[in-house]
Amino acid sequence: MLFRNFTFNPKDDLLSGLTVALALVPEAVAFSFVAGVPPLVGLYGAFMMGLITAVFGGRPGMISGATGAMAVVMVFMIQQGNAVGDSLAEPIENLGLGWLFICLLMVGSIQMLAGFLRLGKFVRLIPHPVMMGFVNGLAIVIFLSQLSLFKETVDGETQWLQGSNMAIMLGLVALTMAIMFLLPKLTKKIPSALVAIVVVACITIFGGLDVGTVGSFIRDGGGDGLQGSLPSFQGYIFGLFDTLDGHWGMLISTACILAAVGLIESLMTLNLIDEMTETRGSGNRECIAQGGANIVNGLFGGMGGCAMIGQSIINVNSGGRGRLSGITAAVALLCFILFGAPLIEQIPIAALVGVMFMVVIGTFAWSSFRILGKIPVSDAIVLIAVSAITVWQDLAIAVISGVIISALVFAWKNATMIRARKRIKDDGTRVYEIWGPLFFGSVQAFGGKFDPKSDPDKIEIDFIESKVVDHSGIEAIRNITNKYMALDKQVRLTHLSPECQVLLLKASPAFEEVIETSIDDPRYYVASSVLDSEV
């Protein structure tokens, strides 16, 4: 069971994993700079995240590592920690990094708890417009993040590449994209991304071109290359707990946000890869694996992270469908750090930018332009809003906002669906035949269907075509019944489900004379199980 789906095609998994590892290096380093931690912390974090989730995760072929979505949440806490460390009587260098490791222990515990509570299944409830907005927004974010690589620092100021430098950069990016586009038309036996990186690297190395490389990128950001050692206090993070006096609130809130962001991005990526591969992963298992990986990162000095949509798409498009692809990517990344640093540092950034641009093209849901005028306006608004919020804020806020908007639209539409058909029986009883869902959004419209003062002395409310969905619906039934009883009119409730009957009788035994128990319609159930008010 542990190694189910270990590999479907060893060659494809090995080659795609190697391709992903090459693309992981600048991404992990870039996100390390965003978070304000040493590059090696991001690289080792990507290795541990990638290996653990590849082996134990719920989605074979999905790649995890250090991500920008989590890095932007970490940075404030790390800055605060560094400031506290500098102010101590015996200053602690990089205290914020130590706080991060403690925080990751909490993050992992929260994520594992979510998996054990089987909360991962709720990602299936995310509406399709939210999913399309998510991939569109993320594609735009990936594209924008690559633009910074077309800049250089001159005399302390950052500016766009000029003249021949820009021309060479654009030419190499275009060549990379052309190889990735054309090679699959000739053969799919080797990953086009890997071939493109190797070809462009050979051109720059043997052609003597002066271009930005992985090594120069790391050094320009303040790092010392791929080689080095981790901060010395990592094995002693538990000794840093005393430095958190007065800061536990910030640490716990940051941990909760990181856990939520990590799970949302991971589960959304899982959903996307499910659609691409026409298979189904396990959200709950992925939650547990992500949590375990973050705990290991906290214990052994990694940055932590979550699923990476760009690298996951590179892997799947390169043929990586088994767990072996993710394991290969993680192990290859470690080998780059330990043994191949001088070689990997020579890879031109342009080649990796070209790969990521092809990921952007493959990620963006171009069909959304075609269907915008063919779907409901509310869905179009959700799609556009999620895309915009992903770029403007972050993924978690965008997805949560999209789900809330979709839920409100759904509630509003269903609130307007409730109807009451009226008829008079031969004995003079007025019958209200209720049609449509009765829930918090429709209770006001439901109450407006009745006219207790003008109605005859006998009233029957028939729920055979209605579903009582929640506690608000139960309350609405209780309120309208009380109005008729206060006017000394006889009211009967028919075709209520057994659950509704139990809840109403629990509120007051007086309902025993109101509910028609000889006939019922058990085709539906109510969500509420508590009714603690009195008739």
Q: What pLDDT score does 265 carry?
A: 86
Identify whether 28 is part of a domain: yes
Segment 273-290, tens digit of pLDDT: 998 888 888 999 999 999
pLDDT band of residue 200 (cuts 50, 70, 90) is very high
Q: Is pLDDT of 316 > 60?
A: yes
**At which residue do the structure tokens 């915009």 appear?**
388
Report pLDDT for 414. 79
Q: How far apart are CA 293 and CA 289, in angstroms?
A: 6
When pLDDT is averaged across residues 257-269 and rounded to a whole number, the result is 89
| Residues 247 and 364 placed together within one structural domain of the fold | yes
Q: Are residues 77 and 214 located together in one domain of the fold? A: yes
Convert the pLDDT of each residue in 4-26 to its tens digit. Answer: 678 888 999 999 999 999 888 87
- Domain assignment present for residue 236? The answer is yes
Q: Report the distance separating Cα 515 and Cα 521, nearest Å.
A: 13
Q: What is the pLDDT of residue 232?
A: 58
Same domain? For 383 and 424 the reply is no
Phi-psi label, residue 466: left if phi above 0, alpha if psi -120 to 50, beta otherwise: beta
Are 205 and 73 members of one domain? yes
Domain interval for residue 475: 416-513
Predicted confidence at residue 48, as pLDDT, reads 95
Any domain includes 123: yes
Higher-pLDDT residue of 395 and 117 is 117
Residue 354 domain-assigned (yes or no): yes
**CA 20 – CA 179 distance, rounded (Å):** 17
pLDDT number for residue 222 = 67
Whose CA is closest to 264, among 70, 465, 443, 29? 70
pLDDT tens digits along 470-484: 888 889 998 999 999
Say whether pLDDT at 384 is over 90: yes
Residue 383 sits in the same domain as residue 491? no
pLDDT for the residue numbered 333: 92
* 380 and 464 share one domain: no
What was the pLDDT predicted at 524? 47
Which pLDDT does position 457 carry in this prediction? Answer: 93
Are 347 and 496 in the same domain?
Answer: no
What's the pTM value of the predicted model, to 2 decimals?
0.73
Domain count, the chain: 2
- Same domain membership, residue 445 and residue 372: no
Instruction: Supply the CATH number for residue 500's domain.
Output: 3.30.750.24
Task: Please indicate, yes or no, whether residues 432 and 359 belong to a single structural domain of this protein.
Answer: no
- Nearest Cα residue to 130 out of 268, 263, 311: 268
Domain boundary among 347, 368, 387: 387
Is residue 526 situated within a structural domain?
Answer: no
In the structure, what pLDDT confidence band is assigned to residue 520 with cuts at 50, 70 and 90?
Answer: very low
Looking at the fold, whether 370 and 441 belong to one and the same domain comes out as: no
Predicted pLDDT of residue 223 = 64
Q: Do 64 and 195 share a domain, yes or no?
A: yes
Whether 191 and 61 map to the same domain: the answer is yes
